[in-house]
Amino acid sequence: MFLLLLLLINNKTIEARYTAQPPEIDGIIEELWYNADSAYDFIQYSPYEKVSATEPTVVYILYDNENLYVAFCCVTPGRSPVCDLGGKEDNVVLYIDPMSSKTTAYYFQTKASGSYSDGIIMDDGRTSDESWNGVWYQASKIYEDKFEIEMQIPFKSIRYKKDIIEWGINFRRYIAPNQEIDTWTECTQKQGFMISTFGTLYGIVPKASGYYFEIYPEGIIRYEVISDTTTLKPDLSLNLKWDLAPQTTVDATINPDFAQIEADPYTLNLSRYSLRLSERRPFFIEGKEIFYMPSSASSPLEIYYSRKIGKAINRNVVPIIGGMKLSSRSKNWQFGILGAWTDKIIEDSNEIEPQRGFGVFRLKHPFSTNSEIGILVSSAASSKEDYNYAFGFDGALRSGTNQFNIQAALSDKNHKKGYALSSGLKGYIKDFYISSSMQIISDSFDVSDIGYVPWPGLKGFKTDFGLYKIYSKGFMKTLYIGPGICINQEPGDSINWGKSISFDINPEFRNNWGINSSIDAGFAYEADTHYINRTVNILVYGKGTKYSIHFGGSIDYTYNYLRNWLAYQSYNYFWWEYDIISRVSLSLYNRLWWEFNPNNELYAVTPTMIPRIEFQATKDINLSIYSQLVFLWLNEENNKPKIQSNRVGLLFSWNFRPKSWIYIAFNDYREDVNGQFHLTEQLSAIKIKYLLYF
């Protein structure tokens, strides 16, 4: 009783009340819901923080043995709800932290049109992962001056611990006409959406018991044309999920189809470091938050990078024979074990990639409300003489908006041993902001088979500090202004240190437009060359009820590793998305690289242009058509730009039931070869993913 009184005094609470009769999930809040406890008194997060919401919202909570039920009643006085399928419309989000971890939570978003999305937020709200895909149900109903949304979250779709009867919970509402964001518990621009500030859902006692299975077969028919070779490839794969307990899950995959129908965007890499790609494969996404190592440093020690398993080599994706993963979460411990085996690749009678086994072990322990420490062990091996192992320790100490991270790691690759250390600090003291990071990575540190740390030998320290001001009224929302200092030693150098200073001005305006700008100059040393580095960066961004836009770029005087010279280079980009009509949106993503030679003469220009049109036929059916054009202009070739490559793609997707999809895809890729535009690769595929869930 005392604990409950303490919660009522210090925290917003809502009671989960049991219902013997489940509500019908049709978007209509029937009389049954009025037996539930309710949440109201929402507070603005944006455009004005800490003031009452302009439109009332009421949320109801019920549960039975198998499901959590949530209903939103969103009143829109004096207007009709904005229901724009595929566009920016009125919507709500449910957040739950079933482990009371204060660091990790699920989110479930439903829009007025009924379209939906889900995901996970981590690091006490500092990081999000939209790739998580759960089984849940939702419906919406539009009225003249309000809209209502119902959600059903099966307990077996989420991780929870039976002996915890208090969950973290929060709600968010987006009011489209004035781009207003309201939350149930108070959130500020400085804090962001912190899980540790969530309210409390108490009295919830899930009675779900037994063992739950997901059997997830996939079938694909792929028609490929590569150069002059045509193949028809039917294939089957199988994914399994077994919940040993509500907080413990076993995942397995056999012969998975991880080929990406839509290729990663083209990037011209002028640096010495390889590019990092995002993970989109279901087997590696499940339980991803456990294997994740939080970091606030600019160069985190990612000793487990899942894209190394089944990587691409010369257009060939390394086949994954199978994999298995055990992951578990409780309030006090989280652990994960992953194993996978990849097949060999043979080209022209030469083995370019051997069969390889991978293993990962992760253990985390939360402490002090929302802080955590952990260890991670990763490995890859094809034989006793061809292996790569790593051991890492990490910790995150959090207090309010402040966070300190530390990571340390040891590596061993084929008897070559190395070490690395990385740490970072971010925080506020009233209106003063500071961010600092430090890295020491030995020359022999190597996790190239299992991780993403492509800068062995890097040593450096960086700090930014200055005024961060939040304005309660007027056209300005926030303003950051301040200097920075960077000291670093490039890989391969044990004597020379680079030193630079920077200055940032980042205003954000009440109309959801903003500017990030910085200048940087100092003494640098790399590639056996001393020089004065200078950089100017600017980003302008904004969004309205029908559009989103980002544009800007940078100009640097630095080393161009692609051309092997010291000179100016510039990068510009433009991203724009516009909702033409309901269900149809158009986006355009342009990037432009400018390369100069050491005589300050323009040497090459590489533009890319990706127009895309999206048609949202229903909340479950989507058609996307895009083109990725890559041009090249070289000053030495008669000033005539040419198309270097073009990729045209079409993807039809139908989510006909939870986690069950039909895909129809077409992908045509052509390259310039000796002045002639030739077909390099063409793919047509039909893919069916069907979930059996019991």
Q: What is the pLDDT of residue 677?
A: 80
Span 67-74, mean pLDDT?
A: 97
- Low-confidence winner among 124-138, 256-270, 442-456 (lowest mean pLDDT): 256-270
What confidence tier does 7 reach under pLDDT thresholds 50, 70, 90?
very low
Give the percent of the chain with pLDDT over 70.
96
Span 169-174, mean pLDDT?
A: 97
What confidence tier does 589 reach under pLDDT thresholds 50, 70, 90?
very high
Span 34-61, mean pLDDT?
A: 95
**Helices and strands of the chain, counted as H and E runs:** 3, 44
Span 392-396, mean pLDDT?
A: 95
What confidence tier does 40 reach under pLDDT thresholds 50, 70, 90?
very high
Span 540-559, mean pLDDT?
A: 95
Contact 686, 668 (CB under 8 A): no
Q: What is the pLDDT of residue 2?
A: 37
Q: Which of 129, 481, 156, 137 is nearest to 279 (CA)?
A: 129
Q: What is the pLDDT of residue 637?
A: 63
What single-letter amino acid sits at 416?
Answer: K
Q: What is the pLDDT of residues 398-423, one digit of tens each?
A: 988 899 999 999 999 999 999 999 99
What confidence tier does 295 reach under pLDDT thresholds 50, 70, 90?
confident
**Distance (Å, rounded) from C-alpha 683 to C-alpha 261?**
8
Q: What is the pLDDT of residue 350?
A: 83
β-bridge partners, 532? 523
- Spell 430-460 as b/e; 16+ CB within 10 A means b: eeebbbbbbbbbbeebbbbbbbbbbbbbbbb
Contact 371, 404 (CB under 8 A): no
Q: Which CATH architecture best describes the domain 2-202?
A: Sandwich (2.60)
Q: What is the pLDDT of residue 3?
A: 39
Neighbours of 29 (CB within 10 A): 20
Name the DSSP class of 282: H
User: Is residue 216's pLDDT more than 60?
Assistant: yes
What confidence tier does 8 reach under pLDDT thresholds 50, 70, 90?
very low
Contact 438, 404 (CB under 8 A): no
- Tokens 């119902």, located at residue: 150
Side-chain-side CA neighbours of residue 542 (13 Å): 13
Q: What is the pLDDT of residues 660-683, one digit of tens each?
A: 889 898 988 888 887 778 888 888
Neighbours of 270 (CB within 10 A): 17
**Which is higher by pLDDT, 480 or 681?**
480
Strands (DSSP E) contained in 444-583 are: 459-470, 476-489, 498-509, 513-526, 529-543, 547-560, 565-581
Side-chain-side CA neighbours of residue 281 (13 Å): 19
Q: What is the pLDDT of residue 300?
A: 84
Q: What is the pLDDT of residue 227?
A: 67
Span 85-91, mean pLDDT?
A: 90
Q: What is the pLDDT of residue 260?
A: 47
Query: What share of residues in the chain are helix, strand, coil (percent, to 5)?
Result: 5, 60, 35
- Tokens 């149900």, located at residue: 137
**Beta strand 13-15 pairing with 199-202:** parallel
**Distance (Å, rounded) from C-alpha 527 to C-alpha 531?**
11
Contact 540, 509 (CB under 8 A): no
Query: Cβ neighbours of residue 618 under 8 Å, at least 6 residues apart?
Result: 85
Give the percent of the chain with pLDDT over 90.
63
Q: Which of 213, 214, 204, 103 is nearest to 162 (CA)?
A: 204
Span 127-140, mean pLDDT?
A: 87
- What global pTM score does this model have? 0.86
User: Is residue 56's pLDDT more than 60?
Assistant: yes
Q: Which of 634, 654, 656 is nearest to 644 (CA)?
A: 634
Contact 98, 92 (CB under 8 A): no
- Tokens 């960066």, located at residue: 537
| Chain length of the chain | 694
Query: Cβ neighbours of residue 490 under 8 Å, at least 6 residues apart?
Result: 457, 458, 496, 498, 525, 526
Query: Cβ neighbours of residue 230 under 8 Å, at least 6 residues apart?
Result: 223, 224
Q: What is the pLDDT of residue 292?
A: 82
Q: What is the pLDDT of residues 333-373, one digit of tens each?
A: 889 999 999 999 888 778 888 999 999 999 999 888 889 99
User: Is residue 180's pLDDT more than 60?
Assistant: yes
Q: What is the pLDDT of residue 1?
A: 41
User: Is residue 455's pLDDT more than 70?
Assistant: yes
Q: Name the average pLDDT for the chain.
A: 90
Contact 641, 609 (CB under 8 A): no
Contact 40, 110 (CB under 8 A): no
- Low-confidence winner among 85-99, 158-172, 475-489 (lowest mean pLDDT): 158-172
**Distance (Å, rounded) from C-alpha 156 to C-alpha 98?**
12
What confidence tier does 5 reach under pLDDT thresholds 50, 70, 90?
very low
β-bridge partners, 521? 501, 534
Q: State how far the alpha carbon of 245 is from the alpha carbons of 46, 155, 201, 343, in Å.
A: 40, 11, 22, 32
Q: Which of 222, 154, 50 is nearest to 683 (CA)?
A: 222
**Distance (Å, rounded) from C-alpha 1 to C-alpha 446?**
55
Tell me which range, 96-100, 237-241, 266-270, is most confidently predicted by mean pLDDT: 96-100
User: Is residue 211's pLDDT more than 60?
Assistant: no
